[in-house]
Structure 1
Amino acid sequence: MAVAKARKELRDPRLAQDLWDGFLRKCDRLADEGLKAQKLGVKTPYLPSAFTEKKAVTKESVMAKLAQLHNQVNLPPSLEQNKSPKNDTSPPPSLESLQKAYENPLGRNIVEQQLQKHPEWI
């Protein structure tokens, strides 16, 4: 919602120019403060996080994190995503294994998905 509002506001050329001018004034002030700090002997002056380079988020980095989470969460094999067809007639997992998996957000999400796929377990 905030991004949509910002895009809408930036379509107004006068508002966009005012925002840009304010941003340049702030950058100029921060640069002056950084130069002043360097003159006082500070080796690495503080810059707000908006001015530091951020690591790009990629599909691979997200998948690596999710795989790491999946390895840390000990879900019963019966709760993992089924790769077999939906007409699987395997017995439902035990109540204890469902309760244990439900204790963390990832397990809770998987349990809820499995219960939606198998309403007969309820």
Structure 2
Amino acid sequence: MNKQVFFNLAVKDLAKSKAFFAALGFGFKPEYGNESAAFMVVVEDTIFAMLMTEDFFRSLIDKPLAQAKEANEVIICLSCESREEVDSLIAKAVVAGGRTPHPPEDHGFMYDQGFEDIDGHLWNLVWTAPQS
């Protein structure tokens, strides 16, 4: 069975968040969204994120909504095909309004760096050397 991953992220301004992620090259499926949510394609046919306004997100939970700029619950980690792809996505994130919480880490066999999106969610991008 082909597994897929779906995750939901609360955002303050849906239009600004869509513009941020579009600047990184992520696509959207408008047929699954509305004024309260946008269905974002992270990896075609495999990984998807639903960007939800904070009010809509709150309607689905019975606990307080964590503010990602103040505290983090998760780091979303995506693999990249090269060091250059890591660097390119980080550069796009910064230009689009994100920030880098730490410099790149180069371990020889692995290279990674993270960014914080405009709502404070942490994303880590990692490349690992092919195993022979």
Is the shorter-chain TM-score for this pair beyond 0.5, marking a shared fold?
Answer: no
TM-score range, shorter chain: under 0.3
Q: Normalising by structure 2, report the TM-score.
A: 0.25
Quick check: which has more Rg, 1 or 2? 1
Flag the structure with more relative contact order, 1 or 2, with Cα contacts below 8 A and sequence separation at least 6.
Answer: 2
Give the TM-score taking structure 1 as reference length: 0.27
